[in-house]
A and B are shown apart, each in its own frame.
Chain A
């Protein structure tokens, strides 16, 4: 029980250049009980937030101006303090090479847009199940 309370309380960063998408993901996370959500609109603005060290779960888009999501994933994995942070990529990028590259860069889940609420929730649950076990 204590575990669940801890899990729902974690700080989550949602990175997407479209405010519509950030809001959708934020609302779905709220449905799952996660209310401590912060936002950034690309990799560049996400990095300083991540470096504060409080974020425990990262949800990011790929195609963003400034710094793309794949570069953000690589930067996070290259930082020893954040190397183990779970990352879910939510993107319209759907080419095989891209999906494989994201997996190799170290994402824990890959959801293509447009997605259903059930798919996004399922992937998030799966990521937390793996961490829990």
Chain B
């Protein structure tokens, strides 16, 4: 059933209700109680049917939405075999998120492997510059003996110092690349929370689909039959681990940076 069909159905019910109400008034005015009761019964049945169709529409919509979600991921859901105990699309979403964590972890380690190799090369450059200084002092000693070497020592010495500075800067930049890999931890913690949420939503949807399947099996609806389970949310521990806070949330109860942490702790005498 398409969305248009359904809304037409609802509009149709409203139009019918209007027409029947007028008819009811006129038959009651003429004293025909029997016809009046028939009209009320008829309306009651049409209302049940409209409600039943709505529930059916929602149920099918739910199935379709979950199926198309799985199709996006190129995973095909098995044809419905009655009772569902897991939803492929949802399980797949969790798997994809887990894969993001796995992939970023691997890539971070690859990056750090290269940083380690680069740092080893920097160490080598440091050693070479030590040997270079030794050779250079030899040039310094020879300089006085050869007119053509005049000034070479000073200029080479200057170059060597610049090169040492560049190596120092390089070491600093490599360390920063290393530390920036901490994004993997931060994003990983955030993604884990989403995985937990998806798993909870999946559980609720499975229950909902189960309920919908029962609705489809029976032909009528008894008012008050459905019972919604409400779980009293346990009182939240104020210091329970929450993972990374979202940037820009601007919550006064949350430290925005290391300075906030330091200020808070020193204000309390720690």
Report A's interface with B, CB cutoff 8 A. 16, 18-21, 23-24, 27-28, 31, 62-64, 68, 70, 92-101, 103, 110-117, 119-120
Contacts and interface: CB of A to CB of B under 8 A. Distances in A.
B105 A20 contact: yes
B183 A103 contact: no
Interface string B231-259: 00000001101111100000001111110
B253 A62 contact: no
Given A24-B181, A95-B242, 19 more contacts: A18-B184, A21-B182, A27-B112, A27-B116, A28-B179, A31-B175, A62-B241, A68-B241, A70-B239, A92-B185, A93-B241, A94-B244, A98-B239, A103-B268, A103-B270, A110-B261, A112-B257, A113-B182, A114-B179
Given A94-B261, A119-B258, A19 B109 contact: yes
A27 B181 CA distance: 12
Contacts, number: 115
B255 A95 contact: yes
A114 B186 CA distance: 7
A84 B117 CA distance: 38
B239 A97 contact: yes
Interface residues of B, number: 37
B188 interface: yes
B258 A96 contact: no
Contact of B179 (A64, A96, A99, A117): A117
Interface of B: 105, 108-109, 112, 116, 175-176, 178-186, 188-189, 238-239, 241-245, 253-258, 260-261, 264-265, 268, 270
A62 B261 CA distance: 15
The 9 closest A-B pairs by CB, nearest first: A63-B241, A92-B244, A18-B185, A20-B184, A21-B185, A94-B255, A103-B270, A20-B108, A101-B239
A103 B23 CA distance: 77
